Amino acid sequence: MELKEKLVSSFLAFENKGGLDLDSNVHSIRSKAIQNFEKEGFPTKKDEEWKYTSLKSLLKKDLGLFPSTDKTIGFKDIKEYLINDIESYTLIFIDGVFNSFLSDTTHDDCDVCVLSSALTRPKYKMIVDNYFNTIAKDNNSMAELNTAFTKEGAFINIPKNTIVQKPIQILNFSTGKEKEVMLQPRNLVVVGENSHVQIIERHQNLSKNTTLTNSVTEIFVHKRAIVDFYKIQDDTKDSSIVDSTFVTQKQQSIASVHTYSFGGKIIRNNLEFYHEGEHITSNLNGISILNDKQHVDNHTLVNHKYPNCESHELYKGIYDDKSTGVFNGKVIVEQEAQKTNAFQQNNNILISDGAEINAKPQLEIFADDVKCSHGCTIGQLDESALFYMQSRGIPKKEAKALLLFAFGNDVVEKIKIPQLKTRITKLIAKNLGVDLGFEL
């Protein structure tokens, strides 16, 4: 049976067996979503938005939709994936199921808990009704699919005037009890006026089995709030992810989403920013370092709708072996959005002959008093710089790594959590296959 039919036919069972409330609002949202998915199906290469990325090889697999969870997973198994040299709230999901034993949640100043309880408890009804699936709906078929199978994920609700002192880590593990699984985590983040929060998200496969994660995150940023969201994608070579992140911003807020793609079979990121007020700043940063036959596809959209807003986008890519990269950055400046300042840059380095990059920086501008620019480059390392370093006794491999490291450093510099910065630096060094020999 095809995966699409399997998904559609198991929808009823999913709602009934899962003990989900069939009278709720959420039920009608789910039903609508599965209808939309059934109509649209999985994206194919014929869709302009999926021109360079094909999910075909994954969809052929017999993916298990409701994996059984491995209860034997302990702290030692997941320790290395946590950033544990800082205090933080943690939300640990194992095979899509929340693990309260390993997690550290709170309800004190703010809510850092799970979506399943938010969807069912009357206390959160208003928040769910106001926010859940308001930006993700009618966007793309993968997001619709996730909505239909929404059950679990992170729920973060920060009230007004709250500075969350500790970063929040969201970790999704798959243990590979089944050979091939599909996971659909769903996160909802609401940040109130004048509040500040930092979130780190990671998906990790603990086995060598195949996983396909179809994740959706909705982030609502209210007036003058500041949100930093870090995504670490350093998964195994058999793991794929389709990640859709939607951000809605109110006036004077600052939202930054950082994407670090270092590993995975197919990585597809849909990152979209929608503005609902003036003087908004949106930051999009990304770095991709891939080798082997890995594939990364970064699709971004910044929709400028109001005057006096800014967006800064910086994506860097280093592609080795037979890896392929896609960058599609869309910036829309609507007629009302005068005095917009939109900047976009995409730099790529191809290290080997089999590597490939497809870039499409796209500007659509309907307002005249704006400052918009984009730049895109594809090139290789500067031979003379390499020679200079070699002539001073630095081996070629290290010299190369240093130059590549310097190339990606602009993006790494934007990380505001020092411990995370160290971790990312180490990951970059690991991916470049060298020990840099210095701490940054």
Partner 1 sequence: MNKFTEDDLKKELETKEYEYGFYTDIEADKFPIGLNEEVVIAISKKKNEPEWMTEWRLDAFRIWKEMEEPDWANVNYEKPNFQDISYYSAPVQKPKLDSLDQVDPELLKTFEKLGISIDEQKRLSNVAVDIVVDSVSVATTFKKTLNEKGIIFMPISEAIQEHPELVKKYLGTIVPKTDNFYAALNSAVFSDGSFCYIPKGVTCPMELSTYFRINEGGTGQFERTLVIADEDSYVSYLEGCTAPARDENQLHAAVVELIALDDAEIKYSTVQNWFPGDAEGKGGVYNFVTKRGLCEKNSKISWTQVETGSAVTWKYPSCVLKGDNSVGEFYSIAVTNNFQQADTGTKMIHLGKNTKSTIISKGVSAGHSQNSYRGLVHIGPRAKNARNFSQCDSLLMGNLCGAHTFPYIEAKNKTAQIEHEATTSKIGEDQLFYCNQRGIDTEKAIALIVNGFSKEVLNKLPMEFAVEAQKLLEISLEGSVG
Stretch binding partner 1 (CB under 8 A), from 99-107, 147-155, 363-371, 415-423: 363-371
- Between 106 and 362, CB nearer to partner 1: 362
Question: Which of 373, 397, 413, 435 is in the footprint of partner 1 by CB under 8 A?
Answer: 373
Stretch binding partner 1 (CB under 8 A), from 117-125, 187-195, 244-252, 367-375: 367-375
Residues forming a β-bridge with 356: 324
Stretch binding partner 1 (CB under 8 A), from 5-13, 54-62, 357-365, 428-436: 357-365
Question: Which of 372, 403, 436, 440 is in the footprint of partner 1 by CB under 8 A?
Answer: 372
Question: Which of 176, 277, 361, 408 is in the footprint of partner 1 by CB under 8 A?
Answer: 361
Q: Is residue 395 within the footprint of partner 1 (CB under 8 A)?
A: no
Q: Is residue 350 within the footprint of partner 1 (CB under 8 A)?
A: yes
Centroid of chain to Cα 224: 23
Reduced to 3 DSSP states, what percent helix, strand and coil does the chain have, rounded to the nearest 5?
A: 25, 40, 35
- Between 319 and 405, CB nearer to partner 1: 319
Q: How far is the CB of 339 from partner 1 (least distance, A)?
A: 11
Phi, psi values for residue 383, rounded to 5°: -60, -40
Q: How far is the CB of 44 from partner 1 (least distance, A)?
A: 16
Q: Is residue 403 within the footprint of partner 1 (CB under 8 A)?
A: no
CB distance 313 to 287 below 8 Å:
no
SS (H, E, C) 363-430: EEECCCCCEEEEEEEEECCCHHHHHHHHHCCCCHHHHHHHHHHHHHHHHHCCCCCHHHHHHHHHHHHH
Q: Is residue 309 within the footprint of partner 1 (CB under 8 A)?
A: no
Centroid of chain to Cα 404: 23
Q: How far is the CB of 352 from partner 1 (least distance, A)?
A: 6
Question: Which of 292, 364, 413, 435 is in the footprint of partner 1 by CB under 8 A?
Answer: 364
Q: Which residues are CB-contacts of 288 (< 8 A; sequence separation ≥ 6)? A: 260, 261, 262, 267, 296, 298, 315, 316, 317, 318, 319, 325
- Between 176 and 408, CB nearer to partner 1: 408
Residue with tokens 């106001």: 130
- Between 206 and 318, CB nearer to partner 1: 318
Question: Which of 232, 290, 355, 412 is in the footprint of partner 1 by CB under 8 A?
Answer: 355
Q: Is residue 134 within the footprint of partner 1 (CB under 8 A)?
A: no
Radius of gyration for the alpha carbons in the chain, expressed in angstroms and rounded: 21
- Between 27 and 374, CB nearer to partner 1: 374
Residue with tokens 């290395």: 80
Instruction: Give the up-direction half-sphere exposure of residue 244: CA atoms within 13 A in the CB hemisphere.
Output: 20
Centroid of chain to Cα 133: 17
Q: How far is the CB of 360 from partner 1 (least distance, A)?
A: 5
Question: Which of 194, 338, 419, 422 is in the footprint of partner 1 by CB under 8 A?
Answer: 338
Instruction: Report d(CA 84, CA 88) in Å as an integer.
Output: 8
Q: Is residue 386 within the footprint of partner 1 (CB under 8 A)?
A: no
- Between 61 and 374, CB nearer to partner 1: 374
Q: Which residues are CB-contacts of 277 (< 8 A; sequence separation ≥ 6)? A: 223, 249, 250, 251, 252, 253, 306
3-state secondary structure (DSSP) of residue 344: strand
- Site size toward partner 1 (CB under 8 A) is 34
Residue 144 corresponds to which tokens in the numbers above?
């619709």
Q: Is residue 362 within the footprint of partner 1 (CB under 8 A)?
A: yes
DSSP secondary structure letters along 260-327 = EEEE-SEEEEEEEEEEESSS-EEEEEEEEEE-TT-EEEEEEEEEE-STT-EEEEEEEEEE-TT-EEEE
Q: How far is the CB of 362 from partner 1 (least distance, A)?
A: 5
- Between 245 and 323, CB nearer to partner 1: 323
- Between 111 and 320, CB nearer to partner 1: 320
Q: Is residue 363 within the footprint of partner 1 (CB under 8 A)?
A: yes
Q: Is residue 117 within the footprint of partner 1 (CB under 8 A)?
A: no
CB distance 145 to 33 below 8 Å:
yes
Q: Is residue 422 within the footprint of partner 1 (CB under 8 A)?
A: no
Here's the x/- map for partner 1, 31-70, by CB under 8 A: it reads as: -----------------x----------------------
Q: Is residue 378 within the footprint of partner 1 (CB under 8 A)?
A: yes
Residue ranges that bind partner 1, judged by CB under 8 A: 48, 335, 338, 348, 350-353, 355-380
